[in-house]
C-alpha cells in the first residue's frame, strides 16, 4: 500500500500546534515571575524587569519577545514592555485572572497531559499514575497548591458569573444551597442580585474554614455555611440548589450518587442548577472549549465533560427531571435546570 504523501502546509501547521506548548512555557514563566504585576504601574525596560524578577536580561528578553509576538504584553522601542489587556489576565488577585489556573495546569497537572497514552491504553487517570494519589488527596497533602487551585477556579468563575446572574432569575427562591460552593463567590453573586434570599455554602470542612474567614461583612446576615461530603448528604429543605463545575469532576456512578443526594434533600418543586460546559449534541465535530476541557478531566481526575443527552441520562437516573438548557453567553458554561417533581 502506497504511503500517503504529507503536504508541506500540514507539516507547517503541526509545527504551529507544537508552538502552543512552547508559548505556554513562556506563559508559566511570566506567571511565576509576576511580570504582569510589575508592568501594571507602567512600561518597564527589560533591564528593569530582569532586576525586579531576579532574572538574566538576555534570557528574559527572549521570553518576553515571544510572548509579545502572540499578543501577550506589548513590546515598545528600546526593549521596553507594556501591559495590555491580554497580559492583564496574568495579574494577581483581580477578577477574571487566570494566573493561578495557569500555574496549576502547568505545574502539578502538566505531567498528566504528557501521559495520555497511559490513559488511552489502561483507562486509568494519568495524574494518579504520576503522583501516586488522586487530585483531591494531592491537594490535601499540599494545601498551598490546593489554595492556588481554588484561586484558579475563582478566577475562572468571574468569566461567567455575570452571564449566570443576567440570564437566570434567582428572585423566586428564598433559600439557596451552593453544593461544593468553595469560597462562596457564586453564592455572593446570587445574593447580591436578590434582596429576599438567604444562602448556604456547602463544602468540606477544610474548605469552609477559609470560606468563613473570607466571608464579606455584608453577607454574614444572609449567608451561612455547612460542612460535609456531597457523596453522603447535602443540606435539606432549600428551594434552589446550585452546582457549578462539580458534576464534570466525577464519573457517571459518582455523579448519580451526588445527584441522588440532592434529590433526597430537595422538597417537591425545588430546582437544581447544574452549571457546566455542555458538548454540543451534533454530528459535526466542530471546535468547542468543552472538548478541550474534557482532556483536562481525563488527564487529572475521573470526570468528563458531557453532552446534554448524557447529562439527561444522569439526571433521570437520580430521580430528577431535566427542564431546560440555558445559554449564559459563553460556550465554557451553560445552565441545566432540573426539578424534583
pLDDT in tens, 182-225: 989 999 999 999 989 999 999 999 889 989 999 999 999 999 99
What's the confidence (pLDDT) of residue 36?
Answer: 98
Question: What does the pLDDT look like over 112-133, one tens digit per residue?
Answer: 999 999 999 999 999 999 999 9
What's the confidence (pLDDT) of residue 1?
Answer: 63
What's the confidence (pLDDT) of residue 308?
Answer: 96
Closest CA to 181 of 215, 148, 134: 215
Share of the chain above pLDDT 70, in %: 99
Share of the chain above pLDDT 90, in %: 86
Whether the CA torsion 182, 187, 192, 197 is positive or negative: it is negative
Per-residue pLDDT band at 150 (split at 50, 70, 90): confident
The cell numbers describing 223, all together, are 449567608
In the chain, the domains with their CATH numbers are: 8-92 (1.10.10.10), 111-339 (3.40.50.150)
Q: Of 38, 129, 248, 288, which is the active-site residue?
A: 248
* Reported pTM: 0.89
Q: Is the pLDDT of residue 2 over 80?
A: no
Q: Where are the alpha helices (DSSP H) in the chain?
A: 8-32, 35-39, 46-53, 57-69, 99-105, 110-113, 116-122, 126-131, 135-141, 143-167, 185-193, 205-214, 252-265, 289-300, 308-317
What's the confidence (pLDDT) of residue 271?
Answer: 98
Mean pLDDT of the chain: 95
Residues in the chain: 341
What's the confidence (pLDDT) of residue 158?
Answer: 74
| 248 given a catalytic annotation | yes
Q: How far is CA 104 from CA 135, 149, 296, 303, in A?
A: 11, 6, 12, 17
Mean local confidence (pLDDT), 58-71: 98
What's the confidence (pLDDT) of residue 57?
Answer: 98
Q: Is the pLDDT of residue 159 over 80?
A: no
Q: How far is CA 241 from CA 156, 220, 233, 273, in A?
A: 21, 19, 13, 6
Q: Is the pLDDT of residue 232 over 80?
A: yes
What's the confidence (pLDDT) of residue 282?
Answer: 78
Question: What does the pLDDT look like over 246-281, one tens digit per residue?
Answer: 999 999 999 999 999 999 999 999 999 999 999 998
Amino acid at each position: 500500500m502506497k504511503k500517503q504523501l504529507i503536504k508541506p502546509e500540514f507539516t507547517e501547521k503541526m509545527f504551529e500546534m507544537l508552538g502552543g506548548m512552547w508559548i505556554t512555557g513562556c506563559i508559566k514563566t511570566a506567571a511565576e515571575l509576576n511580570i504582569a504585576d510589575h508592568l501594571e504601574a507602567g512600561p518597564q525596560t527589560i533591564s528593569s524587569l530582569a532586576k525586579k524578577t531576579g532574572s538574566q536580561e538576555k534570557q528574559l528578553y527572549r521570553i518576553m519577545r515571544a510572548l509579545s509576538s502572540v499578543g501577550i504584553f506589548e513590546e515598545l522601542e528600546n526593549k521596553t514592555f507594556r501591559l495590555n489587556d491580554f497580559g492583564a489576565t496574568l495579574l494577581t488577585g483581580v477578577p477574571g485572572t487566570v494566573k493561578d489556573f495557569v500555574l496549576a495546569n502547568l505545574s502539578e497537572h502538566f505531567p498528566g497531559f504528557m501521559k495520555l497514552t497511559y490513559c488511552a491504553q489502561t483507562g486509568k487517570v494519568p495524574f494518579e499514575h504520576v503522583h501516586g494519589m488522586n487530585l483531591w488527596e494531592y491537594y490535601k497533602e499540599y494545601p498551598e497548591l490546593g489554595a492556588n487551585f481554588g484561586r484558579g477556579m475563582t478566577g475562572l468563575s468571574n468569566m461567567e458569573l455575570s452571564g449566570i446572574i443576567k440570564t437566570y432569575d434567582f428572585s423566586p427562591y428564598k433559600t439557596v444551597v451552593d453544593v461544593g460552593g468553595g469560597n462562596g463567590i457564586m453564592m455572593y453573586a446570587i445574593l447580591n442580585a436578590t434582596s429576599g434570599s438567604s444562602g448556604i455554602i456547602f463544602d468540606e470542612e477544610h474548605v469552609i474554614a477559609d470560606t468563613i474567614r473570607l466571608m464579606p461583612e455584608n453577607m454574614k446576615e444572609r449567608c451561612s455555611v455547612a460542612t460535609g461530603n456531597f457523596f453522603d448528604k447535602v443540606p435539606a429543605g432549600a428551594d434552589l440548589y446550585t452546582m457549578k463545575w462539580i458534576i464534570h469532576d466525577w464519573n457517571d456512578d459518582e455523579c448519580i450518587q451526588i445527584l441522588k443526594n440532592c434529590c433526597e434533600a430537595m422538597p417537591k418543586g425545588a430546582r437544581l442548577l447544574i452549571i457546566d460546559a455542555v458538548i454540543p449534541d451534533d454530528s459535526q465535530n466542530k471546535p468547542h472549549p468543552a472538548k478541550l476541557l474534557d482532556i483536562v478531566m481525563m488527564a487529572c481526575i475521573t470526570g468528563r465533560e458531557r453532552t446534554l443527552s448524557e447529562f439527561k441520562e444522569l439526571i433521570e437516573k437520580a430521580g430528577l427531571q431535566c427542564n431546560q438548557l440555558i445559554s449564559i453567553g459563553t460556550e465554557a458554561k451553560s445552565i441545566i435546570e432540573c426539578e424534583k417533581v
